[in-house]
Amino acid sequence: MEDLEKAILEARKAVEAASDDGPDWSDLLATLALKLGNKVKATKDRADLEEAIRAFREALDATEREHPDRITRQVSLMNLLSDKSMLTGEMDDLEKALSVAQQAVDETPEDHPQFLMCLITLGYRFRHKYGATGTTADLEKAIAVSNQAM
């Protein structure tokens, strides 16, 4: 954990030292968010989770649609939002995760290598929502998206 803390500190320093319109800005933010996300997996610390979500949102906002890492960043943000929803029980966070998942599907060409991953992730989020709400429409969406992935 000590090595991870050092890596997070260095990533924060890199973000603070960089210009928010520089070419590496989104990469630096994504690196910080990933490191924080790794820490959250071990500690479930909400402050770190919030910081990771903020950093991924900023990284995503600074990432052009054509950037090869955009989809990965969307999926990572969506996973953090889902984790937050599971920790807090807040449906708002799950709705945000679904929104990011839908955006990833909408922005990804069907012939892209990660398109199926986006569909599968969207279907999983709808199943998660169905588990939380029991709403048949969410189950139907999960099935439809899963069928589309097949």
Owning domain of residue 44: 1-63
My answer on whether 105 and 139 are in the same domain is: yes
pLDDT at 149: 85
My answer on whether 32 and 13 are in the same domain is: yes
Can you give the chain as a three-state secondary structure string? CHHHHHHHHHHHHHHHHCCCCCCCHHHHHHHHHHHHHHHHHHHCCHHHHHHHHHHHHHHHHCCCCCCCCHHHHHHHHHHHHHHHHHHHCCHHHHHHHHHHHHHHHHHCCCCCCCHHHHHHHHHHHHHHHHHHHCCHHHHHHHHHHHHHHC
Mean pLDDT in order along the chain per 10 residues (150 residues): 93 92 90 96 94 96 90 90 88 91 91 90 92 94 91
My answer on whether 50 and 7 are in the same domain is: yes
pLDDT at 21: 84
pTM of the model: 0.86
Over residues 8-21, the pLDDT tens digits come to 999 999 999 998 88
My answer on whether 73 and 27 are in the same domain is: no
My answer on whether 71 and 113 are in the same domain is: yes
- Structural domain count, the chain: 2
pLDDT at 65: 87
My answer on whether 47 and 77 are in the same domain is: no
My answer on whether 13 and 87 are in the same domain is: no
